[in-house]
Every structure is written in C-alpha cells, then in structure tokens.
Amino acid sequence: MNSVIVNPPTQPIRTEIRLASSKSESNRALIINALTQFKGQLENISSARDTQTMMRLLQSSDVVADVLDAGTTMRFLTAYFAVTNQHKTMTGTPRMCERPIGILVDALRILGANITYKQNEGYPPTELNGFQYSGQNHLTIRGDVSSQYISALLMIGPMLPDGITLELTGEIGSRPYIEMTLQQMRAFGVTHEANWEAKTIRVPAQHYTPTHYAIESDWSGASYWYSLVALAKDAEVELLGLKENSLQGDSAIVKIMEHMGVKSVFTKRGVLLTKIPAEKAFAWDFTDCPDLAQTVAACAAVAGIEVTMTGIESLKIKETDRVGALQAELPKIGGELVELEQNTKYIVRRKAETPATPPSTPVIETYDDHRMAMAFAPVGMVFPVEISEPHVVAKSYPSFWDDLKKVTTIA
C-alpha cells in the first residue's frame, strides 16, 4: 500500500495496547549476549526490523553485512565485528551511507582495528580487515554527534586486554542511551565507573556473565499513543509492558505530555493514559530524548500548543533530516516549525488564522522515516490525514497500523 488514511474515531476510545518491545534495549542485549558466546537467554526481543536485522547479521557468515537503515545495528556491529576480528564489509541503505561513522572508526582504529572506507571518508560502506590490539585504550571522543558510537565502544570495552576509558568532549547528547548501555552491561555482570562531571567512563577488562534478560516495551513507540490521547476528544488507553523506572530516556514523554493534556498512572501491567487540561505553551530540551521531537511537534501543531524546542541538533543526521521533514510537512496540518536561533532553538506552533480542519485531506510524506509516519498518524484523531509509505513503521514498530486499527478506521 502506498498510503493509508487515518480517520477520526466515531466512538470514545477505551483500549489496551501491548506495545512492541524496545529496539534499543534489544540491540544492546543481542550484542552483549553475542559477547557471552550466545549463552544467555533473551526474553521479549523486538520484532522491529532493526533488531531482526541485528539478529540475522550476528548469525550470518556472509562477508557483507547490510544493516539497511538501522543506525544502532551499523554502529554496534562495526565495533563488535572489529574487536572480534571478523572481516566484514559494513553497508546499508543510501541514507545509511550518508550517516556519519568517522568518530567511531577513528576510535576503533586507535584501539587497533584495521578499517577502510570504500566510498567516502567518514561514512559507510566500510571494510573491516582485522584487529590487533594497540595497547592504547584511553580514548577522547565527541559526545555531541551520536551516543551510539559511545555505546558501541562501551559494550566491547570489557573484552579488551586493559578495558577501555572514554573521555567525552562537548555536550553529551542522548545520555540516557549511554546509561542504558551501562545498565544492561551491569545486568550481564560487567562493572564500570562513570564520572559525569568529568565526562569519563571506565570499563575494566572483565567477562560478561550469561544472563536471562527481559526487554521492556518501547517508550518511543508509546509516545504516539500519548499524542493520540492528547488529540482525541475522549480517550483512555492502557499501554502494557512499560515500567515507571525505565532504562529508556524516552519515558520523558510522561512529563512532556503532562503539559500537553495526558495524565499517566502506572498500573501493574503498564501505564494508563487519561486526558487532563493542556497548557498553552511550554519549553522542552530534547537533548536526552531526540526521538520524541517529531511526536511532540505534530501533536503541538494540531493541539495549538506552542512548544519551544531545544536540543534537536542531532535530528539532521537521523533516518532523514527530521528538522527539514517537519518544516515541510507541518504546514499541511496547519502548523509550523520556526528556527529562533540557528540550529539550537526552534518553536513549533499552529499557524495564525488556520482553519481547524484543512480544506482537503493532507498527504504527509514520510521520507523513509518511521517516526514521520507514526508522529503524524495521531493527527487523524482530529481530521482525516493521509500517510505516505506506511510500511516505514517496520523499522521500530511493525504492528503500529494494526494497533491503531483497534481505535479508529484506517483506509
């Protein structure tokens, strides 16, 4: 199907949703478990394409490892294959080959990896040609481009003869993802010392202990249901499998949505979302939770809430340039994303004198980005919205449309 139309519900929404499990937690658990010689037991592994790709590539003896569009799979496997001395060509979609990897490759080279670029310096595809430990394990690495490089290095750290010490420079983006990595490593028996003031993390040489590890549901996927409850006239949704004390930084959606009209009550099974009055304006720093920015932007544009957004610098190097994509698509639903300070501060709002409902059904382009599709789908709670290339959701939340069909009609 080339597009779907999400229509406003004709009845109050009362439902429970068993969310997909977290691809971020799954992909870490898979790498760590591989480093136990696959001796642990992983429960609730994600059906997300990014995770299925990781599983397939960990089991494959092919020389070419094609990660498709999965950032974590590319970054984590590059480090894993490098230190386990596997000769591989790492490649992905054309967009993946535009997403930088030089910071990670430079770090792995210092450790002793022989890596070459097959096309453009600093970008996939790369060729991994073996590993000979250099004796150098103290690395200085930028923290303000992608936390995935840091997570990738931390996970392989205990396998190195002297462990690893990372000194991070610049503002640390997506820090909860680094902490998620460290916590999952700890669940597999590996200790670390992190000093966040000094921005250093040390992982001594040690062995992972095979473990039974259960993966939580996906808070990034939960965010679309928050937006849906915020925008629907009458809705109560229980999201199953989420925990109040999550490893996932995207659980920040609980606090964000308190401003946007959704109350969260944690239950034994997950979290129950109900409607509360929304605020007119608020500000949020997305440095810790960049994947929530699109959800909030689309919701705010329709709800008429002004959100001042900072910390969205990294959006430009994700599945698409997400800032550009939002600026192109929000006007179709009556919103706008305006840059207030170059690349650092934006405001998302409803455009002045915009009718509540557009004259015809807006068609939202998704730019091969699952989050563009899922962030704009809840707009259908207010007026019909057409989402192009709906299959993009498979990257992180393959059952998204089936779940949405439980609350409204999708044509």
Ligand X SMILES: O=C(O)C1=C[C@@H](OP(=O)(O)O)[C@@H](O)[C@H](O)C1
Ligand Y SMILES: C=C(OP(=O)(O)O)C(=O)O
The residues annotated with a catalytic role in the active site are 291
Question: Could you say whether residue 146 binds ligand X (CB under 6 A)?
Answer: yes
Q: Which among ligand Y, ligand X, none contacts residue 151 (Cβ within 5 to 8 A by kind)?
A: ligand X
Which of 217, 403, 392, 376 is CA-nearest to residue 294? Answer: 376
The distance of closest approach from Cβ of residue 147 to ligand X in the complex, given in angstroms and rounded to an integer, is: 3
- For residues 348 and 297, the answer to whether their CB atoms sit within 8 Å is yes
State yes or no: 291 annotated in a binding site. yes
**Residue ranges that bind ligand Y, judged by CB under 6 A:** 70-72, 291, 318-319, 371, 396
- For residues 404 and 410, the answer to whether their CB atoms sit within 8 Å is yes
Count the site residues for ligand X by CB under 6 A.
Answer: 12
CB atoms within 10 A of CB 283: 12
State yes or no: 75 annotated in a binding site. no
Looking at the Cβ atoms of 104 and 387, the one nearer to ligand X is: 104
The binding track of 70-109 with respect to ligand X, each residue x by CB under 6 A or -, is --x-------------------------------------
Gap between the Cα atoms of 213 and 68, Å rounded: 26
Q: Which range in 100-108, 110-118, 145-153, 399-407 contacts ligand X by CB under 6 A?
A: 145-153
Which of 206, 222, 82, 204 is CA-nearest to residue 149? Answer: 82
State yes or no: 109 annotated in a binding site. no
Looking at the Cβ atoms of 177 and 401, the one nearer to ligand X is: 177
Alpha helices, H only, 128-246: 147-156, 175-187, 219-231
Question: Could you say whether residue 147 binds ligand X (CB under 6 A)?
Answer: yes
The distance of closest approach from Cβ of residue 369 to ligand Y in the complex, given in angstroms and rounded to an integer, is: 8
Over its C-alpha atoms, the chain yields an Rg (Å, rounded) of 21
**What is the greatest pairwise CA distance in the chain?**
66
The distance of closest approach from Cβ of residue 201 to ligand X in the complex, given in angstroms and rounded to an integer, is: 15
Gap between the Cα atoms of 330 and 80, Å rounded: 39
The distance of closest approach from Cβ of residue 148 to ligand X in the complex, given in angstroms and rounded to an integer, is: 5
Residues of 189-208 as b/e, b for ≥16 C-beta within 10 angstroms? ebebeeeeeebebbbeeeeb
State yes or no: 24 annotated in a binding site. yes
Rounded to 5°, angle at Cα 242 from 236 and 246: 135
Question: Could you say whether residue 24 binds ligand X (CB under 6 A)?
Answer: yes
Question: Could you say whether residue 26 binds ligand X (CB under 6 A)?
Answer: no
The residue within the footprint of ligand X, chosen from 78, 174, 294, 366 (CB under 6 A), is: 174
Mutual angle of helices 293-303 and 219-231, in 10-degree steps: 0
Question: Could you say whether residue 290 binds ligand X (CB under 6 A)?
Answer: yes
Binding footprint of ligand X on the chain (CB under 6 A): 24, 72, 146-148, 151, 173-174, 177, 290-291, 314
Annotated binding site for phosphoenolpyruvate: 23, 71, 99, 148, 322, 371, 395
